[in-house]
Structure 1
Amino acid sequence: MTTKKADPGMLIDFYKAIEESSAKMLEAAKLRDWDGVVRYEGACAVLIEQLRYTSQQQELLPEHRKEKARIMQRILRNDAQIRILAEPWMAQFEHMFDGQPQVMH
């Protein structure tokens, strides 16, 4: 039985998929579709975990490092825009709980 090595291009594909999900989160936020934002955020979390696992098995190819940096910058810009769009919603959400006793689990 032979073991198949993971495709070295696969690691960069995780970054691309995370960026795509991040862009979808931003589009959902622009539409004030907060359920959609949460869905895409969950997809990002799964992809990030898969990336963490895969990155323990293989290294990012040197020719993909610049692309990774550009992808990460775009993800960070998307995240910043999402936060700006979500701030009024978050303030409204937090206001709903003003005066409520804090419960810790």
Structure 2
Amino acid sequence: MDAPLLNYYEAIERASADMLSAARNGNWDEVVRLEGACVLLICQLKAAANQGSLAPGESTLKARIMQRILINDAEIRHLAEPWLEDLDRVLAGNTKLMH
């Protein structure tokens, strides 16, 4: 195994924090780019998890990292809601124009 599994969780957490920062700044292109990086890291984590497991005592740290990732994700979704509502309105308007 190239890197301990915990390294993958930490990298995903960093990307998640960077996504939140970009979302707070309204940089949605960066959020999307970082989301792609997260997908790649998750794929790498899954592959690494098939070859090994967490070291003793790392489960608690993993749980804390996952909790922070979920908190970041929830805030990103909250920040995206107004943008998604605007997108829905625009798409609804375009649909009406097409009929």
* TM-score of the pair, normalised by structure 1: 0.85
Confirm whether residue 88 of structure 1 aligns to residue 82 of structure 2.
yes
> 1:25-67 deviations in whole A, cap 9, x for unaligned?
0000000000010011110000000001110010111221110
Q: In the alignment, which residue of structure 2 is the partner of 1:52?
A: 46
Structure 2 residue runs of 5 or longer lacking an equivalent are none
**Alpha-carbon separation, structure 1, partners of 2:88 and 2:16:** 24
- Counting aligned pairs with the same residue, the percent is 51
Root-mean-square deviation (Å) = 1.4
| Structure having the larger proportion of residues in helix | 2
Q: In the alignment, which residue of structure 1 is the partner of 2:25?
A: 31
Q: In the alignment, which residue of structure 1 is the partner of 2:14?
A: 20
**Alpha-carbon separation, structure 1, partners of 2:38 and 2:63:** 17
Q: In the alignment, which residue of structure 1 is the partner of 2:64?
A: 70
Instruction: Choose the corresponding residue for 1:10, options 4, 17, 31.
Output: 4
Task: Compare 90-99 and 68-77 and name the one that shifted more.
Answer: 90-99
* TM-score of the pair, normalised by structure 2: 0.90
Runs of 4+ in 1 over 6 A off after TM superposition: none
Question: Across the two proteins, how many residue pairs are aligned to each other?
Answer: 95
Name the SS of the counterpart of 1:57 in structure 2.
coil
**Alpha-carbon separation, structure 2, partners of 1:60 and 1:95:** 46
